Structure 1
Amino acid sequence: MTKKHLNNLIFLVSLLFCGMSCLAQNTTDNSILLTDLLVELETKHNVKFSYADKDVYSIRLTKPKYDALKPTLEYIRTTTDLTIIKLNDRYYSLTNTSTISICGYVLDNFEENTIPGATVEIFESKLASITNTNGKFNFENIPKNSIVQIKHIGYKPMFIEAKDLANTGDCKKIAMALSYQELDEVVVSQFLTTGLNQLKDASIELNIEKFGILPGVSEPDVLQTVQALPGIKSVDETVSDINVRGGTNDQNLILWDGIKMYQTGHFFGLISAFNPYVTNNVNVIKNGTSAAYGDGLSGTIAMQTSNKIPLNVRGNAGFNLISGDIFGHIPIQENIAIQISARRSYTDFLNTPTYTTFSDKAFQDSEVDQESEFYFYDFTAKLIYEINPYHQLQVSMINMSNNLNYLENIEGYSTPNRSSLNQDNSSIGSQFKSEWTDVFTTDLHFYYTQYGLDAITVTNNESQELNQNNLVKESSIKLITNYKVLESIDWINGYELTETGIENRTNINQPPFASNIKGVIRKHALFSELKYTSENSKFYGMLGGRLNYFENINTFKEYIFEPRINLSYELFSNFKTQLLGEFKSQATNQIIDLEQNFLGIEKRRWILSDGDALPLTKSKQGSIGFNYDTDTFYLGIDGFYKKVDGINVYTQGFQNQNQFDGEIGSYAVKGLEFLINTKNNVYSAWLSYTYNKNDYTFDALIPTSFPNNLDIRHSITLAGNYTIGNLKLGCGLNFKSGKPYTQPNDNEPVNNNVFPNEINYESSNSSRLPEYIRADFSAVYTIKLSDKLKGTLGASILNFTNRKNTLNTYYRLKDDNSIETVERISLGLTPNASFRVQF
């Protein structure tokens, strides 16, 4: 240290001691502890003070200049939070008034009727109560600067400072303003199991927190659960290939917090990519969709996380035989909360019976063996900010990934072949909800999502490298306004702008080859609809339309108008009829690549319509339904017709003579859905039946009309669940008729007159696979670990009879000119177990 630095240090230390000395001198001269002052007053004026030590301990104030007792006491009263009460000529009491008693009467906005049952919460003290039959509430010892929230269904929440409600003898009257936010009316309180509700617009709502149990599912996997509904199945047993009323998976609109998702499954479709314990509710729409939604020719599955701010930290954590996860919902302030979740598989270092069965299913008919290293993870985060009672901001983020790496030793080569496959999705979105007046609200959405599928294969002693990539980038902004014309009529309007860019790249170094196909489509949409609910709630109607303008910068521009209708009427008690209809269109599709791309596993690539080889896909759908519902019995039947134009054979997964033709055509589905459900507080049993007649029409093919690849003509489910105390049991049987496929010609299976040789097929989809039968079982047991902790043990068995169901059959021509038959087999007996702690 230099002399200069030493002198500076001595100066600073001296300055510090000087300041402390001055401060001490100032404290000694000008301030006094309140307890010492009270002792002086007792001696000087012959009085006595009673007080609680905690109320006056450590209170210091400037020494008063008064000699008289009265002005000195007034000085103490005004400079502290103490109340001084004269008991008699000699005795005085001192109490701390930093806490106060509050009370109030809660009335409607006309101040005529009291509101019993309103919730009154004190944020700082975490106290809560409800108003009595007279609308009154009261609390003792409340911090006077705390915030009091008053809320009740049908009214806008109110926030009042506690000091404004101080009990001075008369309790304040508080008038609450009516809230006109429309809530979906639940038609069926329990649909198959608790937490599944049918709403008045014929959509199905899944409430995760109240979810009961379904056969084969011990945990509420979102995309597995929706397949319990009539008309929603998967021909290949995956959650990433869900078929709604005979449509392909790319014709479904999957939304998470309003963000369109291009990846929906983990483990190549066997597990939902959406953590069910993060998802608060799911809305499933098969027809009669609101004009606010575009895309989704076949159906819409809209998932929503919680938008509430909890009073206390809550969450859960658990694991099963594939993965472990944790979730937390954490209040930061009284108007700010965050949600966070993380899930990861341990399949890269632990083999379980469930993983083995899943591997057999996922990697059959591929280059991958079980010596591979595979894992997945997903992460979500959400911020909820209630700016004030009329404005709320939500920001959501989700990231998910699947990763596969494996080595393949080849005889004659010193270095094994290396391959990897990565599938990732990252998305962020926001929602700003505003209530400007009692009759006018807005909802502003924005999101950006990016999906990528990358495969790398290095072969021939690392001399040859193949890179393949499918990349999707999409951003969207949407404004929805709701104007309440009358108490029974809502007028909804909005605008949506979406820009989607998709790129497909293939690169090989030896021999050199490069392909890069990319495009961008912008879609502008204006939409408007009227919703009407009669006063007696017997009639509900929605009539709307959506005008889309598609613009592919390089190829086409097109306007499309999409009318929507949704009507329901209660003909008589418990018996209702529904009439639904919609036109829809979309510009994104998945081609199914059958040439062992992406290692023969993930064969689907997202592509954009170009207006020529792949035009915009358009659909028309109408349905009529009847249902009878009581507290213990439900009977429903729906008939529908759907026609989809503008499909390409590349998007349909043909594996016969048509798979490389690139022809444009259509398909039409005629169907019937039937459900009967009996239930009470301890059990629910149901039988569902779906009939579909699903046919293609391709004018350029011979024959021009033949069964759709997804033509599952008959589907039956018989299932039930039963609750015994804390134990829930579920068992079910699923039956599906076989899907169509095309066999080689028996007389001349191979055509040797062309080069290269080809398989001679029979008429397209003229054969059918055997029927599909699967029996499932599940059990869940709940344990109370403490007052704040609850444990859940779960076990399930998919296909407990271990039946080998054939999901698909196709043929390949081998080098020796013989035909190889390839069959994809269903999951075998698949056990799973789980444990979860909720807090």
Structure 2
Amino acid sequence: MSRLFRSLSVGAAVLATSPAIAQQATPARVTISGYVRDAATGENLIGVAVVSPGTGQGTATNTYGFYSLTLPAPTDSVRLLVSYLGYEKARWAAPVGRSLAHDFRLRSAANNLGGVEVVGSREEKIAQSTRMGTVNIPLNQIKAVPALLGERDVLKVLQLLPGVQSGGEGTSGLYVRGGSPDQNLILLDGTPVYNASHLFGFFSVFNADALNNVELIKGGFPARYGGRLSSVLDISMKEGNMQKFQGEGAIGLIASKITLEGPIKKDTASFIFSARRTYIDILAQPLIKATLASEGQKGSIGYFFHDLNGKLNWKVSRRDRLYLSAYTGYDKFYARYREEDGSNYDRNKAGLGWGNLTAALRWNHVLTDQLFLNTHLTYSKYQFNVTQENESRYPDNNGQAQTDRFALKYLSNIRDFSLKSDLDYTPTADHYIRFGGQFIQHSFRPGALQVKGAGSDVDSDLEVGSRTLASEASLYLEDDYRLTERLKVNGGLRLNGFLVDKTLYPSLEPRLAARFLLTEDWALKAAYARTTQYIHLLTNSGIGLPTDLWVPATAKVKPQKAQQFSVGAARTVRIKDEDYEFSLEGYYKPMRQLIEYREGASFLGTTDNNWQDKVTSGDGWAYGAELFLQKKSGRTTGWIGYTLAWSKRRFPDLNQGRIFPYKYDRRHDASLVIIHHFSPTLTLSGTWVYGTGNAVTLGQGRFQLGDYQEYEDYGGRNSYRMRAYHRMDLDLSRTKKKKWGEVVNSLSLYNAYSRRNPYYLYFQRGYLDQYGNVERKATYKQISLFPIIPSFSKAFRF
């Protein structure tokens, strides 16, 4: 551990002695600071623009709703204008001779749509920001996008963005700019979530009703983020209504959910609680039991998942605020059956379960008017279990009753404890400095196997498996600096260290992003980021199955590394008082020291550190261009996205060392999302997606040796393309006002024109007739998963 901290000491000294951070007396300036909140709920608002009209200088609220703006001391008074899409603008003016604090409470606006409330997101124009590859989707759009089986899903909406792909039909995995699922840092209230999928990948773990903000970063990563190569998905939960008790929920075909929030003490403390559960297992039980009974068996087979979110929010003082949040989610598949014949019987149990548990304690403290501190203590755990139990009773050769018992349990998990401190410092309106550090204690158990048995042929008791501990620490410094009226840069440096089994992996990661204004609405942008990832996901399928294993970098298996270069242009176009955001970005991302299973290897039998003998290391390249046009406000909202991309891999031990396309290399990917409000109570939304077919490996021929040994001759890895994928979804929602609140009835069509999209291919044998003629050719057959699927859901708010 001491080696790790000694390697970071130089970075700590740099941060401690940085002249940019040291506060200096500025009698010629005044600082106005405070929070911007929703007037109705007290919820902190993120990314709100706070501007001084007289000077043209401004800032934006941080992740916790705090702003700080330092201005030249006025001769008469300070005037501020606060604006946020979907809210009424707020103005404030006061004679100021010294620094002071002032909070704003914004009221929701109808945006001149005849009562149609369209709440949006950030007010800062896309051309003004230095950020690249960053998308913020308003939650009202996420909830309006058509859903599979009535379940509104955050990750499925993100799959409709350029540069983001799904793993397959209906799945919620994210493949960002040629990367794999483990290369996405998914944060829920600052805590990593290691498996974001339910129902074998068809739904995500995030309940949209409990969320406040969703931001996806695909490139140009700020220095404050680290540990992954491809993306950061930063999700913030609501903080709870501090003014009044309220709730919302929904009843769908396969699941129901409810969210409750309200004040514990008005304007001082609040809570929010959200729950969701499927009832597939309950609805299907009568049919399953009847089927088993027809086969002479008793038992049950089922599957369900649940989610629980909770958060407490306490304003301790004007300068201090505490948050306590937690999430737990679990999937369980089970099968139990019994056959009886007099005193003899055969009992069998099998189960597969997986889930996440996260918790976070956060303290916000305003150190000075210009310096904001956030300290975060988090816990995260992901685990899956495979269990099997068998018990048989039967007569032996002498007619005596004999009982055999066998039990198997396989477990894999990853567990993190983390302490993180971030500071936001705004010495002037031209500088926004962030710095801080984090320490993480990882615990990995790639596989733990327990086998027990007793009987005439079995007499064993085996336990295998242990933990691997690793420590990770980081320091960072970044500055969003306006050099001139046209040129603005975000420069930063991140210093990481990872210690495992006495092996230290340090890394120094420069980050740089810049924008140059051609006009007020046109900007050219460029970004560079170097990233290091110290954990790997061993996966056979690539679609986020629960049997994927998280493992650390070791002395034998090195950490993943990547660089990403991005260039582009951005513009905000105003047409009839409505803004359209346009961006065009190109990127190139070389990746090193990626790992894959060797041919024929899998998670089965993986224990202790023997997984290191099952993997091979190689390189990857991803490059392409993305076009994005988005409209966030008005009667009609939505976006158009298009991606032209390549993603390749090369492993010395795979495909004879030749370069091959990544499984989810997709040349063309297009999406169209339209949400139209006919009235305050009637909304129609639709999506259309198109993508080049997935790359798969197929056999080119089969031959047989002897009577039983059959071999298949495979072509190049991922050398065959499945058919192109395209689909249209529709949703019609009507809102009915009630005395106690409102009810929203939604009718959705998934795959509206019932396209038979390929899910996987299987080999169908050919055969000859009695005369030796070919009666059926040997060929590959396509399996399609979902035809047109109508669904109905009922949501309510009170």
TM-score (norm 2): 0.73
Determine which of 649, 663, 668 is the counterpart of 2:616. Answer: 663
Contact 1:691–1:714 (Cα < 8 Å) also in 2: yes
Match of 2:594 in 1: 647
Shift in Å at residue 829 of structure 1? Answer: 2.4
Determine which of 778, 800, 803 is the counterpart of 2:755. Answer: 803
Match of 1:330 in 2: 262
- Which structure's relative contact order is higher, taking Cα pairs within 8 Å and 6+ residues apart? 2
Unaligned runs of 5+ in 2: 1-26, 42-64, 71-93, 105-110, 289-298, 393-403, 603-611, 766-776
Letter in 2 for 1:630: V
Contact 1:215–1:719 (Cα < 8 Å) also in 2: no
1:457 aligns with 2:391: no
Letter in 2 for 1:289: F
Contact 1:216–1:730 (Cα < 8 Å) also in 2: no
Match of 1:372 in 2: 301
Determine helix, strand or coil for the equivalent of 2:346. Answer: coil
CA–CA distance in structure 1, aligned partners of residues 156 and 564 of structure 2: 25
Determine which of 186, 190, 213 is the counterpart of 1:254. Answer: 186
Determine which of 711, 715, 724 is the counterpart of 1:762. Answer: 715
1:21-73 per-residue CA deviation (whole Å, 9 max, x = no partner) reads xxxxxxxxxxxxxxxxxxxxxxxxxxxxxxxxxxxxxxxxxxxxxxxxxxxxx
Letter in 2 for 1:564: R
* C-alpha spacing 1:152/1:491, structure 2 compared with 1 (3 Å): closer
Match of 1:836 in 2: 795
* C-alpha spacing 1:233/1:256, structure 2 compared with 1 (3 Å): same
CA–CA distance in structure 2, aligned partners of residues 342 and 706 of structure 1: 44
* Aligned ranges 1:590-739 → 2 under 5 Å: 590-593=537-540, 602-612=546-556, 614-632=557-575, 633-650=580-597, 662-677=615-630, 681-684=634-637, 686-701=639-654, 702-725=656-679, 726-739=681-694
Contact 2:384–2:547 (Cα < 8 Å) also in 1: no
Match of 1:393 in 2: 322
* C-alpha spacing 1:398/1:652, structure 2 compared with 1 (3 Å): farther
Shift in Å at residue 692 of structure 1? Answer: 1.3
* C-alpha spacing 1:812/1:250, structure 2 compared with 1 (3 Å): farther
CA–CA distance in structure 2, aligned partners of residues 444 and 455 of structure 1: 37
Shift in Å at residue 254 of structure 1? Answer: 0.6
Shift in Å at residue 415 of structure 1? Answer: 2.1
* C-alpha spacing 1:831/1:603, structure 2 compared with 1 (3 Å): farther
Match of 1:546 in 2: 494
Contact 2:68–2:370 (Cα < 8 Å) also in 1: no
Unaligned runs of 5+ in 1: 1-108, 124-150, 157-171, 183-188, 357-369
1:381 aligns with 2:310: yes
Match of 2:207 in 1: 275
Determine which of 718, 727, 730 is the counterpart of 1:777. Answer: 730
1:526 aligns with 2:475: yes
CA–CA distance in structure 1, aligned partners of residues 700 and 468 of structure 2: 41
1:98-142 per-residue CA deviation (whole Å, 9 max, x = no partner) reads xxxxxxxxxxx9999999xx999999xxxxxxxxxxxxxxxxxxx
1:765-795 per-residue CA deviation (whole Å, 9 max, x = no partner) reads 2111111121111122222213x61222222
1:517-573 per-residue CA deviation (whole Å, 9 max, x = no partner) reads 53121101111111124685x544211111111100x25211111111222232113
* C-alpha spacing 1:594/1:686, structure 2 compared with 1 (3 Å): closer
1:790 aligns with 2:762: no
Letter in 1 for 2:619: S
| RMSD, matched Cα | 4.3
1:431-454 per-residue CA deviation (whole Å, 9 max, x = no partner) reads 111111111121111101122111
CA–CA distance in structure 1, aligned partners of residues 220 and 356 of structure 2: 30
Letter in 1 for 2:232: T
CA–CA distance in structure 2, aligned partners of residues 679 and 122 of structure 1: 22
Contact 2:239–2:272 (Cα < 8 Å) also in 1: no
CA–CA distance in structure 2, aligned partners of residues 375 and 660 of structure 1: 35
CA–CA distance in structure 2, aligned partners of residues 791 and 540 of structure 1: 47
Shift in Å at residue 582 of structure 1? Answer: 1.1
* C-alpha spacing 1:424/1:152, structure 2 compared with 1 (3 Å): closer
1:684-704 per-residue CA deviation (whole Å, 9 max, x = no partner) reads 464321111111112344142
More divergent stretch after superposition (256-265 vs 318-327): 318-327
Contact 2:196–2:204 (Cα < 8 Å) also in 1: yes
CA–CA distance in structure 2, aligned partners of residues 228 and 120 of structure 1: 29
Match of 2:517 in 1: 570
Letter in 2 for 1:482: D
* C-alpha spacing 1:221/1:631, structure 2 compared with 1 (3 Å): farther
Shift in Å at residue 481 of structure 1? Answer: 1.7
1:595-651 per-residue CA deviation (whole Å, 9 max, x = no partner) reads 9xx9x9633122222231x32111111111112222344432111111221111229
Letter in 2 for 1:567: A
Determine helix, strand or coil for the equivalent of 2:700. Answer: coil
* C-alpha spacing 1:824/1:435, structure 2 compared with 1 (3 Å): farther
CA–CA distance in structure 1, aligned partners of residues 96 and 189 of structure 2: 35
* C-alpha spacing 1:733/1:793, structure 2 compared with 1 (3 Å): same
1:746-776 per-residue CA deviation (whole Å, 9 max, x = no partner) reads 2xx2475999865321121211111112111
Letter in 2 for 1:705: I
1:287-332 per-residue CA deviation (whole Å, 9 max, x = no partner) reads 1122111222111111101246521122212221121122122211
1:501 aligns with 2:443: yes
Determine which of 215, 232, 243 is the counterpart of 1:311. Answer: 243
Contact 1:400–1:424 (Cα < 8 Å) also in 2: yes
CA–CA distance in structure 2, aligned partners of residues 460 and 340 of structure 1: 42
Match of 2:426 in 1: 484
CA–CA distance in structure 2, aligned partners of residues 216 and 121 of structure 1: 31
Contact 2:440–2:472 (Cα < 8 Å) also in 1: yes
* Aligned ranges 1:59-70 → 2 under 5 Å: none
Determine helix, strand or coil for the equivalent of 2:155. Answer: helix
Contact 1:309–1:335 (Cα < 8 Å) also in 2: no
Aligned residues: 651
Shift in Å at residue 381 of structure 1? Answer: 1.3
Shift in Å at residue 463 of structure 1? Answer: 3.3
CA–CA distance in structure 2, aligned partners of residues 763 and 112 of structure 1: 67
More divergent stretch after superposition (370-379 vs 441-450): 370-379
Letter in 2 for 1:384: N
Letter in 1 for 2:796: V
1:297 aligns with 2:246: no
Shift in Å at residue 660 of structure 1? Answer: 9.6
Determine which of 235, 239, 242 is the counterpart of 2:167. Answer: 235
* C-alpha spacing 1:465/1:677, structure 2 compared with 1 (3 Å): same
Shift in Å at residue 393 of structure 1? Answer: 0.9
Letter in 1 for 2:549: R
Contact 2:160–2:641 (Cα < 8 Å) also in 1: no
* C-alpha spacing 1:209/1:306, structure 2 compared with 1 (3 Å): farther
CA–CA distance in structure 2, aligned partners of residues 280 and 304 of structure 1: 5
1:745 aligns with 2:678: no
* C-alpha spacing 1:404/1:439, structure 2 compared with 1 (3 Å): same
Contact 2:494–2:508 (Cα < 8 Å) also in 1: yes
Letter in 1 for 2:160: A
Contact 1:215–1:720 (Cα < 8 Å) also in 2: no
* Percent of aligned positions that are identical: 21
Determine helix, strand or coil for the equivalent of 2:727. Answer: strand
CA–CA distance in structure 2, aligned partners of residues 472 and 194 of structure 1: 38
CA–CA distance in structure 2, aligned partners of residues 226 and 120 of structure 1: 26
Letter in 1 for 2:508: F
